[in-house]
Amino acid sequence: MDNPDPAHQKKSLQTNESLSAGEHKKQIEFQNEAVVHLNALYNYALHITMNPDDAKDLVQETYLKAYRFFNSFERGTNCKAWLFKILKNNYINLFRKNSKEPGKVDYDLIKDFYHSIKDARNDTSETDSDFFHSLLHEEVYQALLSLPEEFREVIQLCDIEGFTYEEIANMVDSPIGTVRSRLYRGRKLLRAQLEGYARKYGFATDTDQ
């Protein structure tokens, strides 16, 4: 936008008085198409990094790259899916290469993580007597994190983020058939984990009946 404040110009990567009409248009479009997905990207980044600072870095890197290459984004396709793909590649480049082995879950970290954010819990008003509804967020999340990464990833992308199989297949570089079968097997494993919690707390499950 035409902002004459010099301090503001310094901070902004692309804002100056000589901003071209094309760049201005790009900024508006980028905001409408890409920035609106900021919360979803941060949420996903937090769930895969388990660390708020890392999540912020990851999202920042993702938006920097997305803005730089925004002209290559195919208009009319799902921008959120495009951003997630960039985020996933950034994650691999920035974190996974030099951090802990993939697939290993640090349960103490999860506990601390959930302890630190428990005030942010968003309880639903479910009154369903289904045993699942007695489970806590932390337990469901632990069950999810206990899955091998290839299963956890597709479940998060499908059930939490709402991507289509085609979009997920593109993100994880696998055929749609693989996404289907990972979701099926992942949900079965998850179900078994959750039933374990339910039994621990004395709830009857379908398999007990």
Q: Can you give the binding site for another protein, defined by CB under 8 A?
A: 1, 3, 8, 11-15, 27-28, 30-31, 35-36, 38-39, 41-43, 46-47, 52, 56, 59-60, 63-64, 67, 117, 120-122, 124, 126, 130, 132-133, 135-137, 140-141, 144, 155, 158-160, 164-165, 180-181, 183-184, 187-188, 190-191, 194, 206
Instruction: Tell me if 179 sits within 8 A of 165, measured CB to CB.
Output: yes
Q: At its nearest, how many Å lie between another protein and the CB of residue 34?
A: 9
Residue closer to another protein by CB (options 67, 101) is: 67
**Nearest to another protein of 101, 128 (CB atom):** 128
CB contact at 8 A, 133 and 161: no
Closer Cβ to another protein, 101 or 174, answer by number: 174
Tokens of 89: 């590649």
Of residues 97 and 115, the one with the C-beta less far from another protein: 115
**Of 88 and 197, which CB lies nearer to another protein in the complex structure?**
197
84, 64 contact by CB (below 8 A): no
For residue 142, give every residue at least 6 positions away whose Cβ sits within 8 Å of its Cβ, in sequence order, or none. Answer: 107, 110
**Cα–Cα distance measured from residue 67 to residue 70, given in angstroms and rounded to the nearest whole number:** 5
Task: Please name the residues in contact with 78: beta carbons below 8 A apart, sequence gap of 6 or more.
Answer: 163, 167
Q: Which two tokens stand for residue 175?
A: 């055929």
From the CB of 157, what's the least distance to another protein, in Å? 11
- Say how far apart CA 57 and CA 60 lie, in whole Å: 5
Work out how close the CB of 159 gets to another protein at its nearest, in angstroms, rounded to a whole number. 4
- Minimum distance between the CB of residue 81 and another protein, rounded to whole angstroms? 15
